[in-house]
Structure 1
Amino acid sequence: MSESESSVRKRLPWLIPIVLFLGGVVFVWALDFGIKVTNTLEFCTSCHTMQTNFEEYKESRHYKNRSGVQATCADCHVPKVLGPKLVTKFVAAKDVYHEIMGTIDTPEKFEARRWYLANLVWKRMEASDSRECRSCHDYGDMDLSEQNRSARSRHAAAQDKGQTCIECHKGVVHQLPTEPETSAP
């Protein structure tokens, strides 16, 4: 064995962990960059079918309000915690797939599936106890005395019953979809 081969073999055990570490750093950076880009309002509304949702959102208090605080798509639809965030991003890839495959690539096709899609979101929100809603709206942070009588009563009752936000607040940002008629057997 030559002296140069021996030198390479001695350095190889040190080189592998360094390359793996640098590869890991690049992977984490790329993942973080991808998540940040796909969490922007511009990305979310870039598909033709999302234009209807965007117009509805622009009419809501989450877009424009007296305090100037704006909740974007990611604030309501993407968890803050890394594990659930990655799961959500992975599951959301199906929306891109369906856009590309033509399942929801027009407003008409999207509307035809809107009830089904909304129910998927509502079930996910119920399962997480409206986790994304609660990052801004939490019972413990509500000053019920500042709410009107109806809201004060309903929020107090909902808290006592352990209800989650989405049980009462469907259609706050997006219009409620029309439930499809069930066909007779």
Structure 2
Amino acid sequence: MGWRKWGAATLLVVGGVVGVALWGGFQGALAATNTSEFCISCHEMKDTVYADYIKTPHFKNASGVRAECADCHVPRELGPKLMRKLMAANDLYHHLLGTIDTPEKFEARRPVLTERVWSYMKATDSRECRHCHSYEAMDFHKQTERGREKMQESQKKGETCIECHQGVAHSLPKRDD
């Protein structure tokens, strides 16, 4: 009965304002967790994979275009982005649990973490890579002869980026094989 006092229009406006505020907060949280600063706020990332990344052309190159953490690891579409964020919660869990809290522990777990990322990228046809790189946009004549042959062969086979370009932004994990 109390809602009748306010009127349906007032409740609708208040509901709309609250909805917009919640959506804005949600979008703000997504944007904040997509920054490289957020990603490297855990020393496990800053002292390992970030240290690798800053030595690669994805960080510094002649064109001045930089791929940030989210560019390679977070989809742009909302549904896949939310799924990826849920998957990343596993990293936070292990950070809080202490299973990757030292360089030695991180390196010991790195092959498992790396395989998980590579499997994800293969399953999504390297979707995040393809936001910047596509066969259609490549000028094969500006590539080395070997590079051109490999890229054209991969294109014909329908291969995905991660099948050949493992370790392109981070060093490959040490294996005990």
| TM-score normalised over the length of structure 2 | 0.93
How many percent identity over aligned positions?
49
Q: 1:81-112 CA distances to partner (integer Å, 9 max, x unpaired)?
A: 11111111122122112111111111111111
In structure 2, what is the equivalent of residue 18 of structure 1?
A: 13
- Counterpart residue type for residue 141 of structure 2: S
**1:42 corresponds to 2:37:** yes
When residues 115 and 9 of structure 1 are mapped into structure 2, their CA distance, relative to the original with a 3 A threshold, is same
CA distance in 1, matches of 2:77, 2:25: 18
Q: Which runs of no fewer than 5 residues in structure 1 stay unpaired?
A: none
**1:91 corresponds to 2:87:** yes
Provide the secondary structure at the position in 2 that maps to 1:49: helix
Q: 1:48-83 CA distances to partner (integer Å, 9 max, x unpaired)?
A: 111211110011110011111110111100111111
Q: 2:23 aligns with which of 21, 28, 45?
A: 28
- Counterpart residue type for residue 102 of structure 2: T
In structure 2, what is the equivalent of residue 111 of structure 1?
A: 107
- Counterpart residue type for residue 151 of structure 1: G
- Counterpart residue type for residue 15 of structure 2: L
Q: Provide the alpha-carbon RMSD of the alignment.
A: 1.6
- TM-superposed CA distance for 1:143, in Å, is 0.5
The answer (yes or no) to whether the contact 1:126–1:164 under 8 Å persists in 2 is: yes
In structure 2, what is the equivalent of residue 150 of structure 1?
A: 146
Q: 1:120 aligns with which of 88, 100, 116?
A: 116
What is the aligned residue count?
A: 176
When residues 9 and 162 of structure 1 are mapped into structure 2, their CA distance, relative to the original with a 3 A threshold, is same
Q: 1:56 aligns with which of 44, 52, 57?
A: 52
Q: 1:82 aligns with which of 78, 90, 115?
A: 78
Q: 1:101-138 CA distances to partner (integer Å, 9 max, x unpaired)?
A: 11111111111110100111001101110000010110
| TM-score normalised over the length of structure 1 | 0.89
- Counterpart residue type for residue 74 of structure 1: A
CA distance in 2, matches of 1:144, 1:17: 57
